[in-house]
Structure 1
């Protein structure tokens, strides 16, 4: 907690120093939208609530600016409300953890985006500009919201089991544990995207969020990420939410997905679990700003390395929570009991290891050969903490999505009952939107 407070305070001071040094003009450029095409897009988004509110399904298509504008125009009220909720949550965090006025959250997020912006592709910025125009909100506000995932931590869990381990089609679980107190779950959304350039995909997120943390594309690629904070963390790099969006939009194979996750300048420590249903393949990709490591299902390197005594390796399965099994990456970690200032490797501790990793692996071990959707949902419930915001089970071409229930009380009992994995999972089939989707 003290380290986080010091880091955020340092960022705020760096922002003031940057402005004082005459870099305000550069900050202004980062927060200025790219030029818009002439006239609004002719095509409108399609919005539906197949299971009733709050889960919206928004279908968009075309070039980047068009897609953003379509979504912004179609669900403008949800975007404004959702942005207000998450920005208010960040402001409360600044007050409670840094003991600074809540308004400091805005300049802090501006600074984060300024550092990220040079590494954000132009098409993503164009989509952000279209969203801002369609929803009638400042582009700066869209930048601030998309800076939040780089600044905040998520304690998540994921596994992917290939056919040999599942006893059926490849199955992939993703639990996202983060910020249920924000009530962003009131604005949960599946964005169905048919880009003019790239692969059709479904982005599982929230209204107005263009980055990706969960989703599946028509080539059978599915994604998950888990924060694994590291001493090597930096802001200047391609944001995680942009990388995962690129996987959905560009990757046809597991190799292409891994290349996207590791290329160029990286920012923070993350564990990615990515799966390719058509190839019956999966990988855990551990990264920080300076190094990365890739593990295959049942990889013997997990048990053989210096971290092997903490690993639970299963044939045909990759399992991850918020710590790394690669010794180089673990040595730099601050997550789950890591201390880079001390010599040697600290054993992982706390719920991030005991529940999200170890218990998840033990439950998987007891179900090898019988891993279907119901089994994955049961594992998700067994490891989900009170902060469980979203849970997704991927079984291409289907995905099963659960979101936390909106909160009216904020005590632990209420949050526990509202966990995503304790709610009904909603089934979606990519073939309903993309008839050309390849058969599994």
Structure 2
């Protein structure tokens, strides 16, 4: 359901961009005189884009397939002046209205009967003032950014003439095709109406006169909640900007430029296209270096989680997402070690963010869902333990743009590898240099947050535990949150354990043991997943028992064991200190992407040698 809503949100953002954008450039109109021409049909939209029409109303009615089901959405945008607009987005299940006036902004959720209203000033950079909004909502991370200047500064005829140099524009009876995959049909009896079709996506677009401007507080039978206006507009603006980037990523995101560099206590490297960050020192030094090395990636992660996903969750629940996150964090904070808090605050300061933003962000892994396995001894070709970890969550919000493998050496603690994301200090997938590896799978019980955050507990195990019994003891003695399942492994002893944990209870499942949720036990194997994914994983392990090596272990995690939302896959070979990492991109889940090999022992040796060389200088 959340994925459906994310796609609708991004569709709504596209409608907002098409309808709301205005430019300070005043172009001279040069409309075609032939009413059957494409330029004449598009001219009303170009009058909007080039600021030649200051007041208007645009309606977009669209249908798009999501997971095999056609979804419908209607958008209506009315621009009243340079400071005011109304936007309504409706769907059979969800509805959103934004009403902006010079001195106040309202964000209404009719299905939940609540409207958030803020008054006063807005952020200097991130706000919803209609004038020149495209420059704020479409950045270099979006593929359409280079074309907006052309669209907003010209008329339909000259722009289409320019466009025809790059794509074919073809007339078909009373319709047109652009580039072969976009068809535009005029609407009968509506000179300002167009039907646009691209593949399975259809949209009817109409331009008309503005509707009446209603007062900001005219919301009959809806509960009004006050909210900080600066936070409200920043939240929506940054969420829209990030949604457009993820929907239409530019080469800046799909083929990012590699820029390895060093700072004090940290280094950014690239290995076969993947980011690798080495951090060492005190918690404060590590947090500061993290922010210096991954500034842009961290900001995109914040925008994805707090603003894009946050907007979706607000629409889904009717509750302001940031408030929910901060309430959760207030309950979790007493259980977070002081040195972790120090690192997070240093990271926030390095990024120029307030500490509360980074603290809230790091609660987000409480929502992850995944699969995992461990096979060893008779199940593998060489008897070594192979620990696979599948993270299935939220490729739709663009976390793949922030994917980073960290090698972390905190003074006085066990060094470890953490497969994660910029701006996250906790762990959901990791292995330390004592051959301990860990992966988790989310369950139910969201809201049970009077305990140690899952990602904090995972990191504590990596930097504190040298044996499997020590990991089990940490989980048994710590107050826990929600419902989680885990696979823990020790490459020194070829041991693994599955864990089913809730705040009230904890159960350890040994390899070969049967379980009501996992089926009959398989010798020297421990499998953790659900539904059809578990059935496929069990079948693959049984059919290949005794023949599993690193390559086949990676294959075990391929689709459909990994879901379409598969964000990263990791294969740990803890006895050798090796991990193989695959990250999703904007077109493929991680399971369909190449794995990159990292040698934890070698990386730690090189990092220590580099640090010694720097110190001697």
Give the TM-score taking structure 2 as reference length: 0.54
1:86 maps to 2:305: yes
Higher relative CO (Cα under 8 Å, sequence separation at least 6) belongs to: 1
Contact 2:400–2:583 at 8 Å: present in 1 too? yes
Distance 1:94 1:373 in 2: 39
- Identify the match of residue 138 of structure 1 among 346, 349, 354: 354
1:123 aligns with 2:335: no
Measure how far apart 1:230 and its partner are. 4.0
Cα deviation, residue 312, structure 1: 3.2
1:403 matches 2:403: no
Q: Secondary structure at the match of 1:381?
A: coil
Displacement of 1:138 in angstroms is 1.1
Distance 2:543 2:269 in 1: 39
Q: Which structure: larger Rg?
A: 2
Distance 2:563 2:404 in 1: 22
Match of 1:268 in 2: 482
Other structure's SS at 1:89 match: helix
Q: Structure 1 pair 89/370, CA: closer, same or farther in 2 (3 Å)? A: farther
Aligned-partner Cα distance in 2 for 1:165–1:135: 46
Tell whether 2:328 aligns with 1:112.
Answer: yes
Equivalent positions of 1:219-298 (< 5 A) are: 219-230=434-445, 234-298=448-512
> Paired residues, what number?
349
Distance 2:318 2:482 in 1: 25
Query: Any unmatched runs of 5+ in structure 2?
Result: 3-92, 94-111, 113-262, 608-617
Within the candidate set 291, 309, 321, 1:72 is matched to 291
Equivalent position SS for 1:80: helix
Q: Is 1:199 equivalent to 2:420 in the alignment?
A: no
Task: Find the counterpart in structure 1 of residue 567 from structure 2.
Answer: 389
1:76–1:136: 8 Å Cα contact kept in structure 2? no
Q: Which residue of 1 aligns with 2:86?
A: none
Distance in 1 of aligned mates of 2:285 and 2:445:
37
Residues 59 and 193, structure 1, Cα contact 8 Å, conserved in 2: yes
Structure 1 residue matching 2:308: 3-state secondary structure: helix
Instruction: Tell me the alpha carbon deviations over residues 47-68 of structure 1, each in whole angstroms, 9 at most, x when there is no partner.
Output: 111222xx31111111111111
Specify whether residues 271 and 178 from structure 1 end up closer, same or farther in structure 2 by C-alpha distance, changes over 3 A only: same
Determine the structure 2 residue equivalent to 1:319: 527
- Determine which structure has the larger helix proportion and give its number: 1
1:99: Cα distance to partner? 4.0
Correspondence 1:2-13 to 2 at 5 A: none
Question: Are positions 1:427 and 2:607 aligned together?
Answer: no
Q: Deviations over 1:232-289 (max 9, x none)?
A: x611110000000011111100111112223221111111101000111100011001
Q: Which sits farther off after the overlay, 88-97 or 127-136?
A: 88-97
- 384 and 109 in structure 1: CA distance in 2 versus 1, 3 angstrom threshold: same
Q: 5+ residue gaps in structure 1?
A: 10-41, 322-351, 407-413
- Cα distance in structure 2, aligned partners of 1:89 and 1:287: 30
> What is the TM-score with the length of structure 1 in the denominator?
0.75
Point out the structure with the larger strand share: 2
- Counterparts of 1:394 and 1:225, CA distance in 2: 14
Q: Distance in 1 between matches of 2:359 and 2:584?
A: 25
Q: Is the 8 A contact 1:244 1:261 kept in 2?
A: no
1:148 lines up with 2:364 in the alignment: yes
